[in-house]
Amino acid sequence: MRKGEILIILADLTALVTFGRRPLLFGAAAGVVLLLVLIHLFLEKSRWQMLPAYVATFAIGACGLAGIASTYRVNIVVSSLAVTMLLVSVVLCVMLPVFSLPKPSGRYTVGTVTRIWFRGDSGRESGRSAPRKLTVQFWYPAQTAAGKRSPYRMEHAQGLKSYLRLVRTHSFVKAPILFDIEKYPVVLFSPGWRGHLTQNSVQFEMLASHGFVVVSVEHPAAEKLPVDFDPSLEENLEKYPIEAKLRAEDTSFVIDQLESINHEDLENLFTARLDMSRMGMFGYSFGGAVAAEACWLDDRLKAGINMDGMMFGEAADAGVQRPFFFMSCDGPLPSEADLQCPDPRTRLHMQMLDLDIRRIRQSLARYGGYYLTMRGSSHSNYSDRPLYSPLRILTDAGSIDVKRAFEIVNDYTLAFFDQHLNGKQQDFLDHKSSRYPEADFERHVVPTAVSAPQLA
């Protein structure tokens, strides 16, 4: 809980002690409570988890300022209701906190800026006539730690997720870029199926603090497909490769725009600051498939990472002919019973998982690369989502310690891009590290002769 929220709860409880016993003291306490709420609303802003506490607070304030008195029994009932409401707010605030992102491990301050670009040629193959709106957010090494800190989520976080707008990151909005380094390597990011720009901010800020410019691309929602990702339906599986290619083409368009602002940035931020010869990409969930597809389609991308995403598109069958890192959550492989399950949707889902594993293994055999499984991890451990709540049932986080998982993902991600974009040899990537015994890491060397069996 935030400091103002704690003070409100404590002040309410203190006021309730005097309710019905010492009217003058209760009136003074009620006034203090109302003042604290006003200060809290101005400085910290409201959130829905505190609504029961706000109601209790204004009720206490109204009773105190009006000098309302009642019988002992009524006082007990009112006080009990107020305490219950305060406790409900405490539980909600603790279960859905205004969390803090891990502090970036690099030496550079981080700046951030958001831009909106429209890709106008998306209708040629997809049948679309309207331009695709691409919201793009940058994270980069900044000169000073001054100005406004960027919120974790913007106005589009509504309803139960609206409190995420109150989370403050370590990145400073529109901070001047650092000039200590002549040009910076660039790493692009594609989010999950319904993912948002900032869903892997832990990695964005970490990379920027180590001297990378990170560019996260938010794609338009897929048309004529369910809101939720569902690989258990044949009609979805037919369309996912098309969507993966469409988003990979979004990435190529963004690269074109980066080349343009690198030549001349009208906002005078990135002109001649981007090293377009050192460019990589990573993605989470469906964004991992997009990263593989983009690396397959666009040779300007020199390396990529798929963070626990099923493979779709041409890269799924052909493999990724770039240095590529596959990261996977922990879990049993589909059994023969799973593959023959009588339920058609479950059977298809298991068959797709089995095919996905074989596709990854084929790519590693054909072109080399890296493979990581974190024991005790789940799908969400490759994103920021475990920070959203300490209750794993709400975040789908695995049994692995949340901070430990971030540390493993960050270290492997940084080492990979340092080696393949910056040319800094990383012994860390040569073999399994004793530092992380829970990380099952494999390095697959590029074969001298390409020969891999075709998938059935």
131 and 157 together in one domain = yes
Same domain, 318 and 395: yes
- Burial, 389: exposed, middle or buried (Cβ in 10 Å; 0-12, 13-18, 19+)? middle
Shared domain check, 211 and 152: yes
Q: What is the pLDDT of residue 451?
A: 46
Mean pLDDT of 131-149: 92
Residue 272 pLDDT > 80, yes or no? yes
pLDDT digits (tens, 9 = 90+) for 325-346: 999 999 888 999 999 999 999 9
In a domain, 250, yes or no: yes
122 and 84 in one domain? Answer: no
Shared domain check, 145 and 73: no
Look at residues 95, 124, 147 and tell me which one is the last residue of a structural domain.
95
- CATH number, residue 425: 3.40.50.1820
Residues 331 and 405 in one domain: yes
Q: Is the Cβ–Cβ distance between 90 and 30 less than 8 Å?
A: no
Give CA–CA dist 218/136, Å, rounded: 6
The pTM assigned to this predicted structure is 0.90
Q: How confident is the prediction for the chain on average, in pLDDT?
A: 90
320 and 294 part of one domain: yes
Percent over 70 (pLDDT), the chain:
92
**Whether the predicted pLDDT of 51 surpasses 90:** yes
pLDDT at 89: 96
Average pLDDT (289-295) is 97
- Please enumerate in sequence order all residues whose Cβ is within 8 A of that of 327, keeping only pairs 6 or more positions apart, or say none: 288, 305, 306, 307, 308, 371, 372, 373, 374, 382, 409, 412
Query: Same domain, yes or no, for 116 and 255?
Result: yes
Domain match, 27 and 127 both: no
| Same domain for 306 and 234 | yes
Verify that 133 and 17 share a domain, yes or no. no
Mean pLDDT on 171-176: 95
**Position 449 confidence tier, pLDDT thresholds 50, 70, 90:** low
Residues 350-364: pLDDT tens digits? Answer: 999 999 999 999 999
Domain count, the chain: 2
Confidence of residue 63 (pLDDT cuts 50, 70, 90): confident
User: Domain containing 195: what range?
Assistant: 109-444
Of 278, 275, 307, 277, nearest in space to 291 by CA: 307
Which residues lie below 8 Å from residue 324, measured CB to CB, with a gap of 6+?
Answer: 292, 295, 303, 304, 305, 306, 363, 367, 369, 370
* Claim to verify: residue 258 and residue 391 sit in the same structural domain: yes
So what's the pLDDT on residue 161? 87
User: In the listed set 95, 127, 159, which residue is the last one of a domain according to the structure?
Assistant: 95
